Every structure is written in structure tokens, then in C-alpha cells.
Structure 1
Amino acid sequence: MKNLIILCTGNSCRSQIADGYFKHFANDELKVYSAGIETHGVNPRAIKVMAEDGIDISANTSNNITEYLDVNFDYIITVCDHAQENCPYIPGSGERVHYNFPDPAKATGTEDQILDSFRSTQGMIKDFAKKFVEDRGL
């Protein structure tokens, strides 16, 4: 089994959504971790939009990268520029992949507009995770 970590700034939205999809698509081929360079708690809107797609991330926790310094990662994925540029140390010598997904937590407007922003980012992350897993035969 290979280890994969998904990093973003606060481990609240993008990395949590990615965590759900990587676990869904890779089944038992990957041990999936998600973390941030800070911890902001799991965003309730991320939980909501993932539930709409049949994936439950409500038990996820917001974790700091320092919690995983002893894990050797085969895949290191950053999902925002801030995490890629500011994470002081990412354990492991594995394949590094970066994709700067829009931050839905910064969306403004009505609740429906904000949720649409979450769903848009969610769709991008879902496509990314599925392709990543398929391309590597996981």
C-alpha cells in the first residue's frame, strides 16, 4: 500500500474534498492523509457537498502537517499555491504534484452561490483525483 498526502493551507475544504475522493477512487491501494500548514476545522459546506455525491467526510479531522513527519509519502499533492510555497517540510521523496484549485471558502454571495462555488471546486477535484488514480493504476 502506498501513502498519499494532500496538503492545503487550512485542511478544511480542498484537501478534505480530495481526501474523500482519493479514498473513494483508490479503495485499498492508497493510505490517504490530508493536512494543512494550519488547521481550520473541516468546513461544513465541504461536508455538505460531498454528502450530495454520496461521500461522507463528516468524521474527518483537520490536521497539521507536523503530525505526519514520520510518514514516508509516495505521493505528495498540494492543492493550493499557499501550501506549496509555505510548507516548510513535506516528508517523503515521492512524486510531487501541484494543482491550485480555487478556494471555495473565499466565495461570497448568497448561500446558494457559495455552495455553487464549493460544487465547482469539488467537481474539479473529483476529476483530478479520478485521473490521478487511473493514470497510476491504483
Structure 2
Amino acid sequence: MQQKVRVLFVCIHNSARSQMGEAFLKQAGGERFEVRSAGIESGRLNPLVVQAMKEVDIDISGNKTKQVSDFIDSGELFDYVITVCDETSAERCPLFPGQALRLHWGFPDPSVLQGTDEEKLSAIRSIRDAIKEKVKTWSVTV
């Protein structure tokens, strides 16, 4: 049996973008990938992101946020580390030790969206759909 490709999605708080990336790759990649996500800092799941994911039949409400340091401290190794920070926060996205191939996919940060919850949710749907498309396209090339 072929070994699974190990992937870690990283963003600032593990509250939105990295959670979505993890969920979509698990969905698209099936048995081919072992997927995790983490943040550079502690965070809480964004409830609007949870709602947006439920709209596409993915329930992340039970997910816990994790920190990159937990994976570093445990010595876990990954084939790919994919940072999903937006361009203005890219310098805060951590580098991960080891031989992992590092990819950067810049997406806007849902935590800084302004407006009503409905306006934020509309923007999150766009981010969600962009992440889904990127994951889907990438997963068939690996």
C-alpha cells in the first residue's frame, strides 16, 4: 500500500483558512493524504466559518484549534506545509522545520472582515470557495 502524503495547513490562529484547507483536502484527497492544520498563535474556531462550511456539507464545529509548536515539539514530519495567510500577514506565517516542501497560498483573513455578520459571511463564502478550488486543483497534481 502506498504511503499517504502528509500535509499541514498553517495560518495565524487555525480558526478559519487552515481549517478549511484541511477539511477540503480530506474531502478531495480521500485516502491519499494525511492532513492536519495549525496556527502560529492560539485561536478559536470562527463561528461564521463553521456556518459557511456547513453550507457545503462539511461540519468542522467539533474541530479544535492547534498550534504549530505542538507539531514541532512532537517531531511530526510533513511532506508539504501549506501556509494560507493573506499577503499582508505573510511575514507572520511560520516556517516549519524539516524537509517539507513549503507552499504559500494567500487568502484574505476572515478575522479582519468588517460589516454585519451577513456581509462577513458573504466574504467568507468567497474565501471558502477559493480555498476549495485551490485544494481541488492541487490535490490532483500531487
TM-score by length of 1: 0.91
Count of residues in Structure 1 that have an aligned counterpart in Structure 2? 136
- 8 Å Cα contact 1:37/1:87 also seen in 2: yes
1:35 paired to 2:38 = yes
Distance across 1 between alignment mates of 2:106 and 2:77: 23
- 8 Å Cα contact 2:83/2:93 also seen in 1: no
- State the match for 2:61 in structure 1: 58
Deviations 1:104-129 (Å, cap 9, x if unpaired)? 22111122111001101001100010
Higher mean C-alpha displacement, 79-88 vs 18-27: 79-88
Instruction: Give the AA of the match of 1:79.
Output: V
- State the match for 1:10 in structure 2: 13
Give the deviation of 1:85 after TM superposition: 2.6
Identity %: 35
Instruction: Give the AA of the match of 2:81.
Output: I
- 8 Å Cα contact 2:12/2:39 also seen in 1: yes
TM-score by length of 2: 0.89
1:108 paired to 2:114 = yes
1:127 paired to 2:130 = no
- 8 Å Cα contact 1:71/1:92 also seen in 2: no
Quickly say closer, same or farther: Cα 1:11–1:2, change in 2 above 3 A.
Answer: same
**Structure 1, unpaired ranges of 5+:** none
**Structure 2, unpaired ranges of 5+:** none
Give the deviation of 1:87 after TM superposition: 4.7
